[in-house]
Structure 1
Amino acid sequence: MPVKKVVIVPGNGAGDVQHSNWYGWTNKQINRIPGVCSELRNMPDPVIARESVWLPFMEKELQCDEETLIIGHSSGAAAAMRYSETHKVFAIILVGAYTSDLGDDNERKSGYFSRPWEWEKIRANVNHIVQFGSTDDPFLPWEEQQEVADKLKTELHRYTDHGHFQNTHFPELINAIQNLIKSG
């Protein structure tokens, strides 16, 4: 099935997501694409981003399904991966994805890193996986970003100068979305 909806899942602590990072700008750009709607909402439990709160919200409120492209940034990428272990979705775009709690108590409390990743299930439930990562990310070691790419066999867009992707515009992301929509 072709993509009909794009859902942007922000990183934790983003505040008002319409005015944080590239989220609002991207949402507007996607909503200009004929036949596709984009959903961007403030997430419940925005600081800890608990899996037990975010995944049900993605299912019940955002209605992520097999016609949905989920864009996850940082902890939103972790949420997109965990969601895809048990739900079929059209595609996921992972921005600043990682595999461990990074030794951070808040990340540990989120629940995403409490068990091994089910890479095969994610690949089986998702038609397309695109990943954006940067070697100069101040929060995420490149090794973890590369591990996601290797385990999920992502279409990896590797940068050396994008940090944690906290810019206000992200044209490369729009290009990736348009390519996925065309691939239908």
Structure 2
Amino acid sequence: MTDEVRIVLIHGNAGATIDGIWFPYLKRELEGRGHHVVAHTFPDPIKGRMRYWLPYLTDVIKPDERTVIVGHSSGALTALRYAESAPLLGTFVVAGHHTDCGFELERRSGFFDTPWDWAAIKRNQRFIVQFHSTDDPWVPVEVAKELHGLADSRLILMEGMGHFGSYDQQMETFPELLEAVCQELENDPSFR
């Protein structure tokens, strides 16, 4: 284990990659501020199934208690499932959810086959910060608010952001997320 904080970026499913939406911006800006960023396109990016994503995170990326994960949609699910059994420094949940929201692709992903262990998820990290848009077409704001209650996250609600860049929405920057990540790291006593 190293004392250096690593920031791991995890994209969503439906063909998303780490080279899409605001991920290149966030990686570039964080690295420009001296942070170590890990950004891989996960296997099975169309279906985003847990049986591939969780082992990839665990065995290839190997997060630890000095790792912050920024997960978008299914990437957030991966981070939360990981935190059920292993420590992280914290998680940024962007357009996250804890149910399949009525979508077959999500239902078949494996992320919802077992109940969530919210006590472990909270215990295994120092913070959970959640970004959600009131007009998300895939994850209703009510689901986000319920997740906020279950995860005891800091919820940042935004307007007009949709699913934060997925599908046909063009979103190449995300300064609010960049600021939140930097602020959380500055507030961490071990980072100073």
Q: Is TM more than 0.5 here?
A: yes
| Cα-Cα RMSD | 1.4
Question: Could you tell me how far apart the structure 2 residues matched to 1:129 and 1:26 are?
Answer: 18
Shift of 1:94: 0.1
Shift of 1:14: 4.0
Q: Show the counterpart of 2:66.
A: 67
Aligned residues: 182
Please, which runs of 5 or more residues in structure 2 have no aligned partner? 166-170
- State the SS of the aligned residue for 2:57: helix
| 1:77 equivalent in alignment to 2:76 | yes
Q: Show the counterpart of 2:173.
A: 169
Give 1:30-109 correspondences, 5 Å limit. Answer: 30-34=30-34, 36-109=35-108
Q: Give yes or no for contact 1:2–1:181 (8 Å, CA) kept in 2.
A: no
Shift of 1:81: 0.8
Taking a change above 3 Å as real, the CA distance of residues 77 and 3 of structure 1, as seen in their structure-2 partners, is farther
| 1:9 equivalent in alignment to 2:10 | yes
Q: Show the counterpart of 2:139.
A: 140
Question: Could you tell me how far apart the structure 2 residues matched to 1:9 and 1:103 are?
Answer: 23
Q: Show the counterpart of 2:168.
A: none
Question: Could you tell me how far apart the structure 1 residues matched to 2:53 and 2:119 are?
Answer: 22
Question: Could you tell me how far apart the structure 1 residues matched to 2:106 and 2:4 are?
Answer: 31
Question: Could you tell me how far apart the structure 1 residues matched to 2:61 and 2:30 are?
Answer: 16
TM-score (norm 1): 0.94
| 1:27 equivalent in alignment to 2:27 | yes
TM-score (norm 2): 0.90
Indicate the larger mover: 45-54 or 1-10.
Answer: 1-10
Question: Could you tell me how far apart the structure 2 residues matched to 1:98 and 1:111 are?
Answer: 14
Q: Give yes or no for contact 1:134–1:163 (8 Å, CA) kept in 2.
A: yes
Q: Give yes or no for contact 1:2–1:90 (8 Å, CA) kept in 2.
A: no
Q: Give yes or no for contact 1:3–1:69 (8 Å, CA) kept in 2.
A: no
Taking a change above 3 Å as real, the CA distance of residues 177 and 2 of structure 1, as seen in their structure-2 partners, is farther
Q: Give yes or no for contact 1:135–1:163 (8 Å, CA) kept in 2.
A: yes
Shift of 1:115: 1.8
- State the SS of the aligned residue for 1:72: strand
Taking a change above 3 Å as real, the CA distance of residues 22 and 14 of structure 1, as seen in their structure-2 partners, is farther
